[in-house]
Amino acid sequence: MTRVTDIFRHPLKSHGREALQQVSLSKGNAMPWDRCWAVAHEASSADGSTWVPCVNFSRGSKAPKLMAVNVKLNETAQTLTLSHPERKDFTFQPDDIQQLSGFLAWIKPLMPTDRAQSARIIRLQDRGFTDTDFASISINSHASLRALSEKIGLQLSPLRWRGNIWLDDLEPWAEHSWVGQQFRIGSVLFEGVEPVVRCLATTANPQTGEQDADTLGALNDGWNHQNFGLYARIIESGKISIEDTLELL
């Protein structure tokens, strides 16, 4: 029986992930607090007034060391605590402009010097700065991850993929066939929209931030695509917990 093994949110886009035991999801929205904030770089004009694509932000595809960041969100205080193997833990309030300089100083050693540098933090509540132009939830499969790991010859961590919900006990790549199909996980009704086309961020080790696996080459060589996971939209609100099961409709 296909079941939920992991739930993740990413409060500050491309700057860490946080594991959850359960989550309540609302129709038409992304996961609460997921990509709520994003770090606009100095070449970006994004101001948080509307959704914009990921090219406007500091991200793991251009700065692989960001892939080793972890985060904890205090929802009440709306503070983030960032951790990284090369940095001391740092807690700050991303909406407080007075604390921006501290964040920029913390993140600077992790950013390549030949890329546009991080400049400011912007916020898009509920909708979030997902990589899609609609409010999405990303669904990922351990079976597909095992198939790709075998192809590469390296056990790949799920954390490379920055997904929201992980499922096990599927056939490899079965999730890609759910485009246009409705399915229920826990009490939440989803509709599959499109596969997740992957970028260079997945080549970086989430423990070290070092690029150590040609994930994109292996996907193209083995399956003639660069897809891993499925973007879905929420059709009916509900709750999902670890060990909840999948029902295809």
Q: What's the average model confidence in pLDDT over 160-164?
A: 97
pTM: 0.96
Q: Annotate 75-114 with b (16+ C-beta within 10 A) or e (fewer).
A: eeebbbebebeeeeebebbbeeeebbeebbebbeebbeee
| Beta-carbon count within 10 A of 200 CB | 15
Res 126: pLDDT? 75
Question: What is the C-alpha separation between 119 and 195, in angstroms, rounded?
Answer: 31
Q: Mean pLDDT across the stretch 8-37?
A: 97
Burial of 9 (0-12, 13-18, 19+ CB in 10 A): buried
Q: Give the fold, CATH level 3, of 3-29+132-248.
A: M1 Pyruvate Kinase; Domain 3 (2.40.33)
pLDDT of residue 29: 96
Q: What is the DSSP pairing of strand 137-141 with strand 165-168?
A: parallel
pLDDT in tens, 35-81: 999 999 999 999 999 999 999 999 999 999 999 999 999 999 999 99
- Give the pLDDT mean for 166-185: 98
Burial 12-48 (b: 16+ CB within 10 A, else e): bbbbbbbebeebebeeebbbbbbbbbbbbbeebebeb
Euclidean distance between CA atoms 185 and 199, whole angstroms: 27
Question: How high is the pLDDT of residue 125?
Answer: 77
Spell out the domain ranges in the chain: 3-29+132-248, 37-123
pLDDT tens digits for range 87-141: 999 999 999 999 999 999 999 999 999 999 999 999 997 789 999 999 999 999 9
Closest CA to 37 of 63, 64, 9, 61: 9
Beta strand 3-9 pairing with 18-20: antiparallel
